[in-house]
Amino acid sequence: MTERLNANQLSIGYAESMIVKDLNLSIPTGKITALVGANGSGKSTILKTMARLMKPASGSVLLDGKSIHTQSTKEVARQLAILPQNPTAPDGLTVSELVSYGRYPHQKGFGAIAAEDRKIISSAIEVTGMGDFSDRPIERLSGGQRQRAWIAMALAQQTDILFLDEPTTFLDMAHQLEVLQLLQVLNERERRTIIMVVHDLNHASRFGHHMVAIKSGTVVSEGAPVDVMTPDVLREVFGIEADIVEDPRTGLPLCLPYSLADRKAI
């Protein structure tokens, strides 16, 4: 099967400072892909470029065989949705108003919200469990509720592909699981292709079908979690020594870090 979204010989940055060079990456269609790597490894840069928020120095990002960087913003927004890291909304903006922004790529004329748009907005709010908060201002939501509201806005775009840049940043453990389980449900029910930058390796293993480990803008390893979550890969990518054990509930690999790679365990 040919994947819908592909990066071909992608280089990002400037001549004297390339963050990513000659990257080739195919995103599995209908799966959750987790990008992992140390801070500054280039994973967010790769995600933003594949979502058309950044322009590459060379190479291309192809969606269904067409370069996303030669298409109009509206045309791409009908196919790709992105939730950036730490998005903000104007004070007083309600959940339903925020979610309505997701219909912008589909609106014509003066941008009036049609009856069909309202149905889609309502559905996105319900699917994300935000029905009881539709009239509540964004600033009055909890961290997890706020992320669900932003995800609802992305869903209202009705795209098959969703990008998320560290969607659980600054959330406590319960709210992290709340957001990740929602994404898992959306993937299982609707077969949406989801690409997300994840800091927690064990979350990447549990919720990602496909993992991509990145170091210095280069893919070190990619594949199923069991193939990527190995002591050798974690040593190279993160500079840590870790034991990998099997999660007794899921059978997936769990990372147990115990020291930096250049130190002996104490």
What is the domain-level CATH number for residue 3?
A: 3.40.50.300
Q: What's the total number of domains in the chain?
A: 2
Q: What is the pTM of this model?
A: 0.93
Sign of CA dihedral 61, 63, 65, 68: negative
Note whether 74 and 97 are same-domain residues: no
Note whether 75 and 165 are same-domain residues: yes
Residue 58 lies in a domain: yes
Task: Dump pLDDT digits (tens) for 106-148.
Answer: 887 656 788 999 999 999 999 999 999 999 999 999 999 999 9
Query: What is the pLDDT, as a whole number, of residue 76?
Result: 94
- Domain limits for position 165: 1-79+159-223
φ, ψ for residue 91, nearest 5 deg:
-55, 140
For 91-105, b where at least 16 C-beta lie within 10 A, e where not — what string? Answer: eebbbbbbbbebbbb
10 beta partners = 23
pLDDT band for position 199 (cuts 50, 70, 90):
very high
Q: Distance between CA 87 and CA 65 in Å, rounded?
A: 30
Q: Which helix (H) or strand (E) covers residue 226, if one does? A: helix 225-228
Query: What is the pLDDT, as a whole number, of residue 1?
Result: 54
At CB < 8 A and 24+ separation, what contacts does 224-227 make? Answer: 225/252, 225/253, 226/252, 226/253
Helix 143-156, helix 115-127: angle, nearest 10: 140
Query: What is the pLDDT, as a whole number, of residue 224?
Result: 98
Note whether 176 and 154 are same-domain residues: no
Q: Distance between CA 180 and CA 210 in Å, rounded?
A: 15
Note whether 44 and 60 are same-domain residues: yes
Say if residue 265's pLDDT is above 80.
no
Query: What is the pLDDT, as a whole number, of residue 54?
Result: 95
Note whether 168 and 102 are same-domain residues: no
Residue 236 lies in a domain: no
Q: Which of 157, 152, 156, 159 is nearest to 167 (CA)?
A: 152
Task: Dump pLDDT digits (tens) for 22-39.
Answer: 999 999 999 999 999 999
Task: Tell me the average pLDDT of the chain.
Answer: 94
